[in-house]
Amino acid sequence: MFAQESLINAHARETLAAGTVLQRRSARSDEVMFIESGVVGLGVMGDDELEHCLGLAQGPCWLEPSAAVLQTAWAVDAVAQSTVWVRRVPMAEFQMSLQACCTGVHSMLLDMARLHQQQTEVAVSRLVKDAEGRCAQWLIQHARGREGGQFVVEFQDRKRQVAQLLGIAPETLSRVFKLLRERGMISGTGRIVELVDMPALTQLAGV
């Protein structure tokens, strides 16, 4: 453990229901959460659920200890997958417990935390970009030409079915389409979508 058992037990235990959001990406906190029992999903959230899961944290363990060690923003969203029992430790107390470690151990913890956080940030970035790339590739594959050099996609299936084919949540598909419209790559919100910027879509799809 990063802190002594007495440090953890000095703080009240809370019970959180499944579906509770424990942390959000890019946010900071002056507390460190210790999961005594239960399972927490780590990944990327949509509007109200965990759309992409990078892994699970099963108690007893610290929740994203790398961010706590480095005192940085959280790299992932965290959502309770079951009933969880947690204890919140003030960041100042957590850091004091780290300072109590010998110099060599403290230095090693910092190095491990930096490496792990970098790997997590890369994984999250690739996950988000992969969803955009898959959507762009699907649009290109299903495009048909019109007079005037226009390309359009006519949805034969429900968008929920398309999302399943792409291996993403329906909310993710809607979010990506909204993003592509904002970037001027596509237009239209109904069953017919026009591919406005084919070169940009092709680059995004990596084809």
Q: What is the pLDDT of residues 128-159, one digit of tens each?
A: 778 888 899 899 988 888 767 788 998 877 88
Single out the residue of 124, 132, 154 nearest to residue 142, CA to CA.
154
pTM above 0.85, yes or no: no
Looking at residue 37, what is its pLDDT?
97
Nearest-5° angle of CA 46, CA 49, CA 55?
Answer: 95
| Domains of the chain (ranges, CATH numbers) | 5-100 (2.60.120.10), 130-205 (1.10.10.10)
Cβ burial of 48 (10 Å; 0-12, 13-18, 19+) is exposed
Looking at residue 127, what is its pLDDT?
75
Looking at residue 154, what is its pLDDT?
87
Rounded Cα distance between 167 and 106, Å, is 41
Rounded Cα distance between 143 and 185, Å, is 13
Q: Tokens in use for 179?
A: 């993003």
Query: Looking at residue 2, what DSSP letter applies?
Result: -
Rounded Cα distance between 81 and 4, Å, is 27
Looking at residue 2, what is its pLDDT?
47
Q: What is the largest CA-CA distance in the chain?
A: 73
Q: Which residues contact 66 (CB under 8 A, 6 or more apart)?
A: 72, 75, 112, 113, 114, 116, 117, 120
Looking at residue 4, what is its pLDDT?
66
Q: What stretches in the chain show pLDDT beneath 70?
A: 1-4, 147, 207
Please tell me whether residue 146 adopts helix, strand or coil conformation. Answer: coil
Looking at residue 3, what is its pLDDT?
47
